[in-house]
Amino acid sequence: MHEASHELLFFRQFLDGLDMPVFDATTIYCDNEAARQLSEDQRWHARIKHFRVRYHTIRDLVHLDEMKVLGIRSSDNVADVFTKPLGPTDFARL
């Protein structure tokens, strides 16, 4: 999600430079419920100090309405075809 947020910022700034600003929040789908909740949570969690910068970047984008994080079931996540070994049935479906 952190890497996707960097891509999101790049493309939003790129489009803005072309005088095509994006006013609505860009939707990012995440199959990790804990990560999704942390992106919207305004409290500091003691257990996430090791990724403080990544957490704040994503949380700030959500707070500024530039990014919206929605949950997706792992079975429906088409990105899994690029990131996980899948059986032939799941591979063909995705």
Q: What is the pLDDT of residues 11-49, one digit of tens each?
A: 999 999 999 998 999 998 888 787 787 777 756 556 665
Domain ranges of the chain: 2-93
The mean pLDDT of the chain is 81
Specify the length of the chain in residues: 94
User: Token digits for 44?
Assistant: 């500091």
| pLDDT interval class at 84 (50, 70, 90) | confident
pLDDT reported for residue 57:
79
Cα dihedral sign, 64-14-24-34: negative
Mean pLDDT of 55-68: 83
pTM, whole model, 2 decimals?
A: 0.65
pLDDT of residue 83: 77
